[in-house]
Structure 1
Amino acid sequence: MSPIHHALVLNLHQPPGNFDLLFANNDWEAKEILYAYDRIARSLWGYEDVGRVHLSVSGSLLEVLSDPGFQQRVYGIVDCGTLLWHWQNRNIIDILGTGYYHPVLPLIPAEDREEHLVRWRGIARHLFWREHFDGFWPPEMGFSMELIPLLAAQGYRYVIVDSEHVEPIDAISWQELRYRPHIARHGGAEIIVIVRDRELSDAQEAGMEYSWFEHEVKHRTHWCNFEPLVTTCTDGENGGWFRNVTKGSNFWTCFYRELMDNARDEGPIRPTFIHDYLDRHGAHGEVRVKQGAWNTGWHHGRDFLQWTGSQTQKDALARVREVSSAFHAVRDHAISAELHDPALWHALAEAQWRLLRAETSCNFYWGEDWVPRSHVDLDAARAALDQIAVGKPPASA
């Protein structure tokens, strides 16, 4: 029997200010999250030969974990500096690129997307001591084909998408569509598509025994005439399965350690890094990816309903587009007019980071509860733009 390659992907994200809110209102939840982060690398120690985990860490989370004030505040709980250093271990952890403030990229203005990617790469290069990141994790797995040229230009080799949205160009089997990497093309650019198995990922999120997982994976890949790549992706700090601190009762000590032990004993499932699998087996066939996100428990991910379901959410996203348009008009005018006033550029910088933070997916995820957070940042961005006395750009600009 051919080995079954398993790529484990964990998404880690905290919206700006969330730890302050949690420590003020529910400090045990904040501690559980920090323990979940700290548990990742520690659970792989001693398994460097078989342990393989991909981490996507949002820029806003990296920002708080690397902040000296926050590190001092939580030092008796978790040593964040050491935690980040442990995540640098390339033998057991591969870091995926993502967007700085964790926006649903297809929902924000196209003009803002690159800055989210550039800012994330800036902080990630500094903290993880590397220049290149092979794979890209779209926040909330929100993907559309128009992102391909941007991701390719940023140097990403592959992107992870949800199985619900992948369609083959030519007829292929269900197993090949789901368990083989493919190529997607758009606008003269191409990227490798790695397909997340939605059902197995749901099980990973909810909690499962290794014996069930092995049986299910073997059943799903039985008719593969190639070495399959099974990719499971979930959040890595949400839910009791990942937060439980009791040994033998969480993802790492109840499930993944047994998976690694079996892999070491030549079991059928072998943890792998996606880039290693691609180096050995490549990508096959071309696919289209329909616009959509991952499932969120009560929404299927199609049409981004979780983030756009109410008029209040739609109105806030429309205001994001309005403020973004105003920002880019002022900045483009300042560039074309070769304006060098430091106060002007300081105000533009203030407006831009506020705009980008307003686009955080969490602002729109919780129905209408967090939408006001987006408006607070949009108000600040608008106020910064109003300070700029550069005149309005011409109508043709």
Structure 2
Amino acid sequence: SDPVVSALVRKGRDFSLEDQAALGRKQTELLGLVIPAYKKLAASRQIEISTTPYYHPILPLLCDSAIAATAHPNVPLPHRFQYPDDARRQLQMGRDYIQQAFGVAPVGLWPSEGSVSDEVFHIAAETGFRWAATDNGVLDRTLGRGSGVDGTYRPYRWQQGGHAMQVIFRDHVMSDLIGFVYSGMDAREAAHDFLRRIRDNCSGILGAGRDALVPIILDGENAWEYYDRNGRPFFRELYQGILNDREMHAVTVSEAFDLMPSDPLDHIFPGSWINANFDIWIGAEEDNRAWDFLLDARRAYDQRQDGVTEEQRKLAYEELLIAEGSDWCWWYGPEHDSAHREDFDQLFRSHIANVYRALGQQPPADLSQPILRI
């Protein structure tokens, strides 16, 4: 236990400005230990560091927004957005940032929201990534049938047009148990339930004489705050249970590909981890208006970039990349709600307007009006 934090806990109330400052200094100190800890664990190969495209865009939609109709044939679409070079830039920036911060160039990719397509895999392979992960709902659509645990619990190798990418497909059910269920259970009971389910799922595969790879993938920052002590008791029970089981081993994704043969894939169905489609981010009236604003700004950039200074060009492009992030359209449309939706709307339109300002142009008047239909 930390003496500064312990003293504040004992005090319990009537905190002074100095108490607040002391806690702020302690938080900064602890945050400074995070990246060195990751570096150490990565160097010992206890963990593997992967990454995501820098501003969290839905890569397949950047490459070609019309691809949304593959998963949802009758979806209303905005004017076609088709800028694969932006997807490449987002991937390269994500990879470069991790290399700068952690001293290692990641070979693994979790595309934003598990969103994949053949074109995304082509670009990712050219950018230096060797493996990617998505959801087993995408595997079902790729295979044209339910994959079940037998299909999910194995690695794959996508190959097309001279490019190759290793792929794993997360067990949606098992991952969501950790993400949404086990935080409300006793740590030991939750860990035992999880390991029991894995043994049950793998029994037929092991009985057939082959190994099983169980991909557990989740947005960790969403889960641990709901667990007792940020999940530490659960983790201790879970990893102790794995250590006690002779047939079970925790491995990094790259280790899994080294240990097991991969099944071939000649294509990947375009979709995300949410229903194996892109409906969250495109198709609703609000979503499509946002895409049209983005397209207009992107075209303005193409037309003006050679007539402005390098500083203006960089700033305009940075604002475009920010506006391509997926979280803006997460809040547009009927799927999600938040008390801050109006703030997100205003911020998105501000970034689009900043593209024009950086190019020395007046933003379109429509950008001063909300996209939201409240």
TM range (shorter): 0.7 to 0.9
> Structure 1 residue 326: deviation in Å?
2.8
Comparing 281-290 with 113-122, greater Cα deviation is found at 281-290
Paired position in structure 1 for 2:241: 262
1:310 is aligned to 284
Letter of the 1:243 counterpart: E
Matched residue, 1:111? 85
SS in 1 for 2:204: coil
Aligned partner of 1:292 in structure 2 is 271
C-alpha distance in 2, partners of 1:364/1:144?
19
Partner of 2:217: 233
Question: Which of 330, 347, 357 is residue 312 of structure 2 equivalent to?
Answer: 347
> How many Å separate the matches in 1 of 2:285 and 2:240?
50
Shift in Å at residue 358 of structure 1?
Answer: 0.9
Q: 2:181 aligns with which of 193, 207, 212?
A: 207
From 180, 185, 197, the counterpart of 2:159: 185
Q: Following TM superposition, by how much is the alpha carbon of 1:371 offset from its aligned partner in structure 2, in angstroms?
A: 3.2
The residue number in structure 2 matching 1:156 is 129
Quote the Cα distance in structure 2 between the aligned partners of 1:386 and 1:291.
Answer: 38
CA positional deviation for 1:197: 0.8
- Alignment size in residue pairs: 297
**In structure 2, what is the equivalent of residue 102 of structure 1?**
56
- SS for the counterpart of 1:271 is coil
Matched, 1:75 2:25: yes
Please say which structure displays the higher CA radius of gyration. Answer: 2
Structure-2 separation of matches of 1:73 and 1:114:
41
Q: Report the Cα distance in structure 2 between the residues aligned to 1:203 and 1:328, rounded to whole angstroms.
A: 46
Aligned residue among 355, 362, 369 for 1:381: 355
Deviation at 1:114, TM superposition (A): 1.2
Q: Could you list the runs of 5+ residues in structure 2 that have no partner in the other structure?
A: 1-21, 63-82, 183-189, 334-340, 363-374
For residue 122 of structure 1, report the CA deviation from its aligned partner. Answer: 2.3
Mapping of residues 117-132 of structure 1, within 5 Å: 117-130=91-104, 132=105
Cα gap change, 1:172/1:152 in structure 2, threshold over 3 Å: closer, same or farther? same
Q: Which has the higher contact order (CA 8 A, sep 6+)?
A: 1
Which residue of the other structure, out of 66, 84, 87, is the alignment partner of 2:35? 84
Change (3 A) 1:274 1:97: same
CA offsets, 1:187-208, max 9 Å, x none? Answer: 4322111111111111111133
CA deviations on 1:213-238 (whole Å, 9 max, x unpaired) are 11211222222132111011111111
Question: Could you list the per-position Cα deviations for residues 46-105 of structure 1 after superposition, in whole angstroms to 9, with x for gaps in the alignment?
Answer: xxxxxxxxxxxxxxxxxxxxxxxxxx9953325222111112121332111211111111
- Report SS of the residue matched to 1:285: strand
CA distance in 1, matches of 2:266, 2:31: 41
CA distance in 2, matches of 1:285, 1:347: 46
Measure the CA separation in 2 of the matches of 1:257 and 1:113: 39
Instruction: Find the residue that maps to 2:256 and give its secondary structure.
Output: helix
More helix by share: 2
SS in 2 for 1:275: helix
Q: Which amino acid is 2:258 matched to?
A: D
Confirm or deny that 1:252 pairs with 2:232: yes
Give 1:211's aligned amino acid.
H
Return closer, same or farther for 1:172/1:374 CA change in 2, 3 Å cut-off. closer
- TM-score normalised by structure 1 residue count: 0.69
Paired letter, 1:310: A
**Which segments of 5 or more consecutive residues in structure 1 lack a partner in the other structure?**
1-71, 389-397
The Cα of 1:152 is off from its aligned counterpart by 0.6
Residue in structure 2 matched with residue 198 of structure 1 by the alignment: 172
Matched, 1:243 2:217: no
2-structure distance, mates of 1:282, 1:191: 14
Q: Secondary structure at the match of 1:195?
A: strand
Pair 200,173 (structure 1): closer, same or farther in 2 beyond 3 Å: closer
Change (3 A) 1:233 1:344: same
Identical-residue share of aligned pairs (%) = 22
Q: The residue matched to 2:310 in structure 1 has which SS?
A: helix
